Amino acid sequence: MALTDVLGPLLEPAITLGGVSTSWAELLGFATGVLTVWLVVRQHVWNWPIGVANVVLLGLVFLAVGLYADAALQIVYVVLGLYGWWQWLYGGAGRTSLTVSRAGRVELAALVLAGAAVTVLLTVVLSVWTDSSVPVWDALTTALSLMATYGQCRKLLESWWLWIAADLIYIPLYAYKNLYLTSALYVIFLALCVAGLLAWRRDLASRAASAAVSAA
């Protein structure tokens, strides 16, 4: 049985929103996406396997509407998802579970430079070799998402700011591509990202206070 025979039905219409059909892949991507981000906010390690399922579903959706960089990004997400899963379980001192931290100046600068380079490179690739109608925005959101996912794998507080920036672009971008359910999903993501930023910030402050008391 060919892979398309298995995955093809996921692109069949499930519901209609605003006169536009919404596929099963987009509908299931909506549900698993909300669950994934909610679990990240709570620092629950099961966000990673559920997240892998989510990116496979959304990868099909993005490929179908010509968001090629976003579709390719989902493959990278699978690899990063497995890496993040391992990091959260064993990435702390002495192979303990990872805790929330802030990015150092050098790490943050390197991340920004890498993101800028990816944006430029993908913009050129999408403009020259694909029929993408939004090469710059597709490239920029791809770069921001990769930066944010790396930060999430390392439990860096700054990852939430990167996700917030990406979501603010994704919301109108997906609406422009008639992916109304996915656009709505990213509105929910945006709210969850703000909640995650506040929750991780409280966790970081609480552990810093506990460390200060222990050192006194």
Query: Residue 89 and residue 155: Cα distance in Å, rounded?
Result: 11
In a domain, 68, yes or no: yes
In a domain, 86, yes or no: yes
Q: Which residues contact 202 (CB under 8 A, 6 or more apart)?
A: none
Note the Cα 165 to chain centre separation in Å. Answer: 11
Picking from 61, 72, 58, the residue whose alpha carbon sits closest to that of residue 130 is: 72
Over range 200-210, report the average pLDDT.
88
Over range 24-31, report the average pLDDT.
82
Give the strand pairing for 20-23 and 13-17.
antiparallel
In a domain, 11, yes or no: no
| Cβ neighbour number for residue 96 with a 10 Å cutoff | 10
Domains held by the chain: number: 1
In a domain, 184, yes or no: yes
The SS3 assignment for 133 reads coil
The SS3 assignment for 39 reads helix
In a domain, 172, yes or no: yes
Q: Is residue 45 over pLDDT 90?
A: yes
For the stretch 146-165, pLDDT in tens is 999 999 999 999 999 999 99
What per-residue string of b and e applies to 1-17 under the rule 16 or more CB within 10 Å gives b?
Answer: eeeeeeeeebbeeeeee
Which pLDDT score, from 0 to 100, does residue 160 have? 96
Looking at per-residue confidence, does 54 or 21 come out higher? 54
Domain that holds residue 88: 18-94+102-203
Which pLDDT score, from 0 to 100, does residue 214 have? 67
Question: Percent of the chain, pLDDT > 90?
Answer: 49
For the stretch 51-81, pLDDT in tens is 998 888 888 887 877 777 677 778 888 899 9
Picking from 158, 157, 126, 156, the residue whose alpha carbon sits closest to that of residue 141 is: 126
Under 8 Å between Cβ of 126 and 135? yes
Q: Which pair of tokens denotes residue 214?
A: 């222990």
Q: Is residue 6 over pLDDT 80?
A: no
Query: Residue 141 and residue 169: Cα distance in Å, rounded?
Result: 7
To the nearest 10 degrees (0 to 180), the angle between helices 158-176 and 180-215 is 180
Tell me which H or E stretch contains 23. Answer: strand 20-23
Tell me which H or E stretch contains 13. Answer: strand 13-17
- Between 53-62, 84-93, 205-214, the lowest mean confidence (pLDDT) is in 205-214
